[in-house]
Amino acid sequence: MKVLVAVKRVVDYNVKVRAKADGTGADLNNVKMAINPFCEIAIEEAVRLKEAGVATEVIAVSIGDKSCQEQIRTALALGADRGIQVETDGSPEPLVVAKLLKGVIAKEEPQLVILGKQSIDGDNNQTGQMLGALTNMPQGTFASEIKVEGDKLNVTREIDGGLQTIALNLPAIVTTDLRLNEPRYASLPNIMKAKKKQLDVYTPADLGVEPSAHLTTVKVEPPAERQAGIIVESVEQLVDKLKNEAKVIS
Amino acid sequence: MSLTFDSARLANPHLTSDHESWRGQLRKFIDAEIMPFADDWDEAGEIPIELWPKAAAVGLLGMGFPEEFGGTLEGIDSWHNWIANEELARIGVGGIPASLMVHGIGLPPVLNWGSQALKELVAPQVLAGTRHIALGITEPGGGSDVAQLQTTAVRDGDDYVVNGSKTYITGGMRANWVSTAVRTGGAGAGGVSMLLIPTDTPGFSRTELDHKQGWWASDTATLYFDDVRVPVANLLGEENRGFNVIMTNFNGERMFMAAAMEACGRVCLEEAVQWAQERKTFGKRLADHQVIRHKIAQMKQKLNATQAYIRVCYESIEAGNPNPGDIALLKVQASETMEFCAREAMQILGGSGYMRGNRVERIYREVRVNAIGGGSEEIMRDLAARQYGV
């Protein structure tokens, strides 16, 4: 079974991101970048399927400029067999990403596609679902456990108030939640071996896609600074403030 | 722009995606397996023995050592080393890298100068983190003046009989082997040999040096040799040529220390800037007071200079023509920078920096071990002056 995993280059989750002074975006100058944590979980799951003898090949795909090859190489060091970069300027919006991934699926014909449920920069939580719609493949989102049984895939999903297990026909799309697994570290020897693994570069045109923008970022600003608290003198004062200042009770 | 550990690092055009990948994975390992416990280990004066096999599994212990002994050598360059030294220093507990990576000075004499049998016995276990090695040069009677060391090894049949002692030996309490400098011949540098001494040999004993200013997490020992019989086959290099073995070891150690010291200075900058942007005095942020802004700018200035100098020295190593004088002075540059940044960061942090349990307080206490160990500032300047033919 061939498994395709999407990985995205994002700001490292430890970095305290700042908005640019002109409000056009986040300041990424000299900022540490990493694989999106949910994508890392996706890679780990695919590698575990391979180690269990279920998957035969794991392909890591990323979309972006040349710098995203760094994240593809990390995915290869974590255990993916080969990589694909779809070269675009910057980071396209979810619908474009989904169309490009559809193009990669048409070329590679994987049985299973694993994506992070969302990326920690855009927090869109759209790509997996859009990809399901575009390819007409069944989708299991927010997976906390997956099990391949013959040509079926059981996906346990984290939903409001509990867990839901659904059975999908393969080929299928899965998006990962936080508890699916705990990703390993890539060791230095594996990082060095990953340099020799195959990495193909496609343009959107190779995949028959014309990137188009439907979204415009109007403004990026930091969250409002938290005001200092006060100690109220009495219950009456508390009720008064909740009613008239905070307006949370009436 | 902000000034953090990462953003205060100057761009280095030599770094490729595998270097960045190594930094990312190593940092994940450190943040999960070391950072949360580092304070406690330092206070306890001990690192759990389980850390070594874990560090071996992520490839840290084997970095730069041959594949045949379980290491990773192919494709590894100075930049992988620099990254590892930086990331380990970022923990802010100097005793951890000092002890965890002490095979970096203990093992090369075996691999560069020992017999094949010795290499096969020692290297795989050390690189797997299951057994440990240290380097024994300094003696109670003297450190910097290596040529005058007094521990003797007298030939008796197929053995040397070793008598004397070594002190300030990092990793000495844990070591299964010590690459030891001994006197086999006459006075001076020409009578010194290197000998690999197993610590389970009768006549070997050791005591812990546990009242140090810094590096608490690192075990430091005084070693005693009373008629310790060591096979002649444990000789590292030729008899009476040990001084050469010792000297070839030093460049690597000094680069390791310089990289770590600059990174410690950068930790101080990061902590000081974060505090200065939060703390308010006289109605404005600390960072808005000119006196504080200048301290921060001057820290960055010195860190920039040290980073650039480190890069030049690593470039010369990559090109195969390192200058020992330049590397000696780099070590001085780095310890002065670390000292300056620790001082200024402490002034900015004030009382909160003075309390135990933060990285600046610890780095402040670990300035001296860096300024003295691996060649004191005074010896480094003297060595450089000689190298330059002054």
B216-247: pLDDT as tens digits: 999 999 999 999 999 999 999 999 998 888 88
Please provide the size of chain A in residues: 250
- What is the CB neighbour count within 10 angstroms for residue A197? 16
Percent above pLDDT 70 for chain B:
100
Q: How far is A19 from chain B (nearest CA, A)?
A: 10
Chain B positions touching A190 (Cβ under 8 A) are 59
How far apart CA B375 and CA A168 sit, in angstroms, is 66
Q: Are B237 and B196 in contact (CB under 8 A)?
A: no
Q: Where are the domains of chain A?
A: 2-223
pLDDT at A79: 96
Chain B touched by A220 (CB under 8 Å): no
CA distance to A6, A11, A111, B46, B111, per residue, from A150 (Å): 24, 38, 12, 51, 52
Contact B21 A194 (CB under 8 A): yes
Interface test with A, best of B18, B23, B266 (most A CBs within 10 A): B18
pLDDT at A218: 92
Contact A191 B1 (CB under 8 A): no
Chain B positions touching A30 (Cβ under 8 A) are 1, 6-7, 9, 11
Contact A31 B7 (CB under 8 A): yes
CA angle A20, A25, A26 (to 5 degrees): 65
Q: Dump pLDDT digits (tens) for A225-243.
A: 888 888 999 999 999 999 9
- Two tokens, residue B318: 């990559």
pLDDT at B338: 98
Contact A188 B60 (CB under 8 A): yes
Percent above pLDDT 70 for chain A:
100
How far apart CA B342 and CA B287 sit, in angstroms, is 17
Tell whether the model's pLDDT for residue B143 goes beyond 80.
Answer: no
Percent above pLDDT 90 for chain A:
77
Tell whether the model's pLDDT for residue B276 goes beyond 90.
Answer: yes
How far apart CA B161 and CA B182 sit, in angstroms, is 10
pLDDT interval class at A76 (50, 70, 90): very high
Contact A15 B58 (CB under 8 A): no
Closest chain B residue to A77, measured at CA: B21
Could you give the ipTM of this predicted complex?
0.88
The residues near A89 (Cβ < 8 Å, ≥ 6 apart) are: A65
CA-closest candidate to residue A102, choices A57, A141, A132, A143:
A132
Q: Going from the N-terminus, what domains does chain B have, and what CATH number goes with each?
A: 17-104+117-127 (1.10.540.10), 133-240 (2.40.110.10), 244-387 (1.20.140.10)
Q: Are A113 and A172 in contact (CB under 8 A)?
A: yes
- A202: which strand partners? A86
Q: Give the relative orientation of helices B290-318 and B324-349 as an angle to the nearest 10 degrees.
A: 160
How far apart CA A184 and CA A64 sit, in angstroms, is 25
pLDDT interval class at B1 (50, 70, 90): low
Q: Are A157 and A143 in contact (CB under 8 A)?
A: yes
Question: Which parts of B158-211 fold into alpha helices (H)?
Answer: none
Tell whether the model's pLDDT for residue B268 goes beyond 60.
Answer: yes
pLDDT at B94: 94
Tell whether the model's pLDDT for residue A74 goes beyond 60.
Answer: yes
The residues near A102 (Cβ < 8 Å, ≥ 6 apart) are: A131, A134, A135, A209
Contact B74 A69 (CB under 8 A): no
Q: Dump pLDDT digits (tens) for A176-201.
A: 999 999 999 999 999 999 999 999 99
Strand, coil or helix: B62:
coil
What's the whole-number mean pLDDT along residues A207-215?
A: 90
Closest chain B residue to A74, measured at CA: B21
* CATH class of residue range A2-223: alpha beta
- Two tokens, residue B347: 């002034």
Tell whether the model's pLDDT for residue B2 goes beyond 80.
Answer: no
DSSP B233: G
Chain A touched by B36 (CB under 8 Å): no
Give the largest CA-CA distance in chain A.
71
The residues near B130 (Cβ < 8 Å, ≥ 6 apart) are: B52, B53
Strand, coil or helix: A200:
strand
Q: Are B55 and B99 in contact (CB under 8 A)?
A: no
pLDDT at A250: 78
Chain B touched by A18 (CB under 8 Å): yes
Contact B62 A191 (CB under 8 A): no
CA-closest candidate to residue A39, choices A1, A9, A12, A73:
A9
Give the CA count within 13 Å in the CB-facing half-sphere of B282.
Answer: 5
On average, the pLDDT of chain B sits at 94
Q: Dump pLDDT digits (tens) for B92-136.
A: 999 999 999 999 999 999 999 999 999 999 999 999 999 999 999
Chain B touched by A197 (CB under 8 Å): no
Chain A touched by B2 (CB under 8 Å): yes
Peptide bond into A171 cis (omega under 30): yes
How far apart CA B233 and CA B114 sit, in angstroms, is 9
Tell whether the model's pLDDT for residue A94 goes beyond 90.
Answer: yes
Closest chain B residue to A186, measured at CA: B25
pLDDT at A223: 86
Percent above pLDDT 90 for chain B:
88
Contact A12 B25 (CB under 8 A): no
Closest chain B residue to A194, measured at CA: B18
> What are the strands, taking DSSP E only, across B184-271?
192-198, 204-208, 220-231, 235-236
Q: Are B267 and B2 in contact (CB under 8 A)?
A: no
A vs B, Cβ pairs < 8 A, gives 74
CA-closest candidate to residue A208, choices A104, A83, A94:
A104
Cα torsion angle, A51, A56, A62, A68, sign: positive
The pTM for the full model equals: 0.89
The values of phi and psi at residue B282, to 5°, are 50, 40
- Two tokens, residue A48: 């575990």
Q: How far is A13 from chain B (nearest CA, A)?
A: 11
Interface test with A, best of B15, B20, B21 (most A CBs within 10 A): B21
What's the whole-number mean pLDDT along residues B137-152?
A: 87
Chain A touched by B129 (CB under 8 Å): no
Q: Dump pLDDT digits (tens) for A104-140.
A: 999 999 999 999 999 999 899 999 999 999 999 999 9
pLDDT interval class at A224 (50, 70, 90): confident
CA distance to A41, A76, B22, per residue, from A71 (Å): 13, 9, 11
Give the CA count within 13 Å in the CB-facing half-sphere of A109.
Answer: 0
Contact B17 A189 (CB under 8 A): no
Chain A positions touching B58 (Cβ under 8 A) are 185, 187-188
CA-closest candidate to residue B91, choices B218, B273, B278:
B218
Tell whether the model's pLDDT for residue A78 goes beyond 60.
Answer: yes
pLDDT interval class at A29 (50, 70, 90): confident
**Could you confirm whether B253 is annotated as catalytic?**
yes
What's the whole-number mean pLDDT along residues B305-311?
A: 98
Contact B59 A32 (CB under 8 A): no
Q: Are A135 and A173 in contact (CB under 8 A)?
A: yes
The values of phi and psi at residue B185, to 5°, are -125, -150
Which amino acid appears at position B211 of this protein?
A: H
